[in-house]
Structure 1
Amino acid sequence: MSIPRGSVLVTGFAASWTWILGAALAALVPGILVLVWPHETLHILAVLIGLYLLITGGFRFVTAFSREEHEERLPRLIIAVILVLAGVLCLRNPLQTIAALSLIVGVVWLVSGMLTAYTALVGRDLPHRGFVLGAAVLGIVAGIVVLALPAQSAVVLTRLLGLWLVLIGLAELMVAVALRSALREAR
C-alpha cells in the first residue's frame, strides 16, 4: 500500500518547526495585545459581536422570504428583527454588551456550581467527592463575583485570557526551537 504524494507533503509541512513557530506566534501576539490593551480588546469584541448579530439578522430576514411556507415566515422575521436590534444595541453601547456577556457567564458559573454541589452532596458514592464539591464552591464563588462586578470581571477574565495565550505561545515557541534543534542534529 503506497502513501499518496500529497499526504507525504502535508505530513512534511506538519512536522516542520516553522509551522509550530507560526502557531506560537498566532497565540503569543494576540495574547500580548490582550494583556497590553484589555479594555480595547473588550470593545473590539463587543463590536464584532454586534456586527455578527446584524449580519446574521440580515441573512435571516432574507431567508424568511425565500421559503415557500408562509406559516414559517413570521417566526423567522421575528428572530431576524431581534438579531438586528441586538446587533444595533451592541454597536450603540459596546460596554453594555460586555457587561451582559459577563452577567451570562456569572449566571452559568453560579448555576452550574450549585448543580455540581448538589450532585456532590447527594452522590455519596461519587468518586473524588471532595474535589467535585471544591470545584462546585469555586464555581459558585466565581459566579457571585462576576454577577456582583460584571464590568471589572470582564477585564480580569480578558487579562487571564491574554496570559493564557502568552503561556501557550511561549510553550509552543519552546517546542518549535526544540524541534528545530532536533532536526539540525538529525541532519
Structure 2
Amino acid sequence: MTVSRDPAPRTGPEQMPEGAAPGPVGDPAEVLAELGRSWKWILGSAVATLVPGILVLVWPEETLHVLAVLIGLYLLVIGAFRFVATFGRDDHGERLPGLLLAVLYVLAGVLCLRNPLQTIAALSLIVGIVWLVSGILTLYTAIAAKDLPHRGFVIGAAVIGIVAGIVVLALPTESARALTRLLGLWLVLIGLAEVALAFAWRAALRRSGIAGPQGPDGTA
C-alpha cells in the first residue's frame, strides 16, 4: 500500500513561506519525496495492481508460466512504487517499514520471473507471504502515524491485504485455473481499495491547500 504521511505539498513557490530559500534544484531525494506524496502516485500503484488482476480474470486459460510472469512483473512494479512512496514520509524512522516492503516485493518478483515454471504451490506461497506481510506493515503504519489523513481507508486496504494473504496461503489450489481466478480476484479487490485511497488522499490535499500554504515546520 502506497501511503504518505503529510498531505500538504511542500514544494513550489506558492507553498514556500515568504523569505524562505528554495532547496537545491534537482535534489533526487526531494523529487522522490514530492512524487511519493502525490495522490496520482497512489493512483498509479492502484492501476498497476488492477491491470494484471483484470488480465488474469479475463484470460483464465493462461498457463502457469504466463501467470508467473504477470505476477512477477506486478511485484517488481509495485516494489518500485513502494520504494518511492517511502520518501514521502517526513519521519525517517517511519521509512523503514516501507523500504522493507519494497525490498520484499522486488525479491518476490525476481523469484517469480527467475523460475516461471515453478509449481502452483510455490507461486501461491510467494504471493500469499507478500500480501500478508504487506498488509501487516501497512496496518502498522496506519496505526503508528499520528497525523495520517483518512486512516480508515488505509486500515481497510491493509485488512484486505492481510485477508488476501491468509486466503491464498490457507486454501489449496489444485489447478492453474483456480489459482488464476483466486489471484485475479484479490488483485482487483486490492486495486480498487487503492483507487479509493488515492481519491481520499486527493481530497486531503485539496483541503490542505484551502487551509493555506504551510512552511517546513507545518505552520501556516
Instruction: Pick the structure with more helix per residue.
Output: 1
Which of 1 and 2 has greater Rg?
A: 1
Fold match, TM over 0.5?
no
- TM-score by length of structure 2 reads 0.37
Q: What TM-score results when the alignment is normalised by the length of structure 1?
A: 0.43
